[in-house]
Amino acid sequence: LADVSARLDPRDGLFLALEAAKVAAEVRANPPPREVIDTRMEWCSFRLAAACAKQMKNDDQAHQFAQRGLAAGGPKEAFDGLL
């Protein structure tokens, strides 16, 4: 949903990407029993948030989100052009 919204309006995409990152962090911290979780969701959400911020010409915010994505386990290559 965040990805589709980002294509239409980067402000909406940014908001939804940050909400997705919050949910992903909560699930990673407290995984449901006997459930498989996608540990990429948090850093992917921060990558989308960084791309939205960059599109809105907010390079400082884009850099901050990219750093948070790296801290969440994202590969550096995924954040090329955002750091």
Q: Which two tokens stand for residue 17?
A: 């990407």
pLDDT, position 35: 83
**Helix %, strand %, coil % of the chain (to 5):** 70, 0, 30
What does the alpha-carbon distance between residue 77 and residue 37 come to, in Å, rounded to a whole number?
Answer: 23
pLDDT, position 38: 84
pLDDT in tens, 35-61: 888 889 999 999 999 999 999 999 999
pLDDT in tens, 58-75: 999 999 999 999 999 999
